[in-house]
Amino acid sequence: MPSKVRIALDAMGGDVGPAVVIPGAAISLGRHRDSEFLLVGDRTKIEPELDKHPKLKAASSIVHTDVAVSMEDKPSQALRRGRKTSSMWLAIDAVKKGEADVAISAGNTGALMAMARFHLRTLPGIDRPAISAIWPTMRGKSVVLDLGATLGGDAHHLVSMAVMGAAKASVLFDKKRPTVGLLNIGAEEIKGHEEIREASEILRARNLPELDYIGFVEGDGIGKGLADVIVTEGFSGNIALKAAEGTARQMAELLRGEMRRSWMSKLGYVFARSAFQALRDKMDPNKSNGGVLLGLNGVVVKSHGGTNAEGFAYAIDVGYEMAHYDLLNKINQMLNREGGALRSVQPAPEDVS
């Protein structure tokens, strides 16, 4: 456990850049006094924001670059144009060199994944990384992965994600043996694609000591919180995420419209205001911000590009906890102990897309 958690921030990432990144870092520093920040980006844009937060300024240093990856860049373009010079690359490079414990960016997701995978490489036994995030549920929170890092996945990939997701859940939720479920179209063992059924057979047969495999979980089981960790391949995971976010916004708009429809509705809102506020807080996407790119030889966190300062602070908090509780070492230990499970199926071919 490091005495100081060194956090590299891509200050130019996201829709706004330093105007969100810097105040977000100041909020997180207030919660984690043992943080140090490496702010990577255009010094002329960073310093005016940093001057507003003296405590953060005292805990920060700046790495100047005026090259930034745009939200429209394709991953291949970002690698060609931004490699070794962009704020995103230099934040990842700080992790590679051991100058930072974690890199955080609100920039282009595809570019971040491509750069992180190219520069940091994957852990032994891991073929492809996965984006994992915290999902608010009726029982609290769950870790869900993969949310779109790569499309498709064989049994080896699904089992490795189960191990990595369990490691993250044990860190965040302080559970020695988190429950793990595979997302499927039904709970019956005969349902789903062959690779999902094969992964399920492996997890049941191995009975891994650091995770409790509970079987298949249907889509509605995510929100119910049926498992601490929900595992799926990136195509299905990203659709599930976007569908949930869209439904939450739809419900919020419908509820807001109904509250304004009549004076009786407005009066009812007055009496139920605290309940509505509690619901809003639980469903606030900013409070679940911060997707960890699991499977890399280093800790990288992706923030929503359009988040506000509070939301970016939550992404920093996730990165802080991953570094503070040594997630990378924990994943390595679990992969080594459960190597037989990962070797029991042939690994997927290297994804070069």
136-153 tens-digit pLDDT? 888 888 999 989 888 888
Q: For residue range 45-97, what is the model confidence (pLDDT) as tens digits? A: 999 999 999 999 999 999 999 999 988 888 888 888 777 899 999 999 999 99
CA distance 62 to 306: 23
| Ordered strands of the 35-41 beta sheet | 60-64, 35-41, 5-10, 102-105, 299-302, 291-294, 130-137, 140-145, 229-231, 179-183, 212-217
Strand pairing report for 60-64 and 35-41: parallel
- Write out the two tokens for 283: 């469903």
Q: For residue range 247-267, what is the model confidence (pLDDT) as tens digits? A: 777 777 777 777 777 777 766
Higher pLDDT, 5 or 128: 5
Q: Tell me, what CATH number does 163's domain have?
A: 3.40.718.10
Task: Quickly state the pLDDT bin for 276 (edges 50, 70, 90).
Answer: low
Residue entry with tokens 């001057």: 51
Task: Quickly state the pLDDT bin for 316 (edges 50, 70, 90).
Answer: very high
- SS3 label, residue 241: helix
> Is residue 334 in some structural domain?
no
Whether the predicted pLDDT of 347 surpasses 60:
no
* Mean per-residue pLDDT, 109-135: 90
Quick one: DSSP state of residue 288? G
What's residue 269's pLDDT? 61
Closest CA to 27 of 337, 343, 314: 314
Whether the predicted pLDDT of 299 surpasses 90:
yes
> Is residue 30 in some structural domain?
no
CA distance 17 to 19: 6
- Write out the two tokens for 290: 């911060």
CA distance 20 to 262: 38
> Is residue 80 in some structural domain?
no
Would you call 346 exposed, middle or buried from its count of C-beta atoms within 10 A (0-12, 13-18, 19+)? exposed
The residues, any chain, with a CB within 8 Å of residue 216's CB and separated by 6 or more, are 181, 182, 183, 184, 186, 187, 188, 189, 191, 192, 196, 200
> Is residue 56 in some structural domain?
no
* Mean per-residue pLDDT, 109-124: 92
> Is residue 229 in some structural domain?
yes
Domain containing 188 equals 126-289+340-353
> Is residue 2 in some structural domain?
no
> Is residue 179 in some structural domain?
yes
User: Residues 71, 75, 77, 79: is their CA dihedral positive or negative?
Assistant: positive
* Mean per-residue pLDDT, 224-229: 94
The residues, any chain, with a CB within 8 Å of residue 133's CB and separated by 6 or more, are 143, 144, 145, 147, 241, 288, 290, 291, 292
Q: For residue range 282-295, what is the model confidence (pLDDT) as tens digits? A: 666 667 788 999 99
> Is residue 51 in some structural domain?
no
What's residue 348's pLDDT? 44
CA distance 131 to 149: 5
Total structural domains in the chain?
A: 1
What's residue 275's pLDDT? 60
CA distance 58 to 36: 9
CA distance 255 to 269: 10
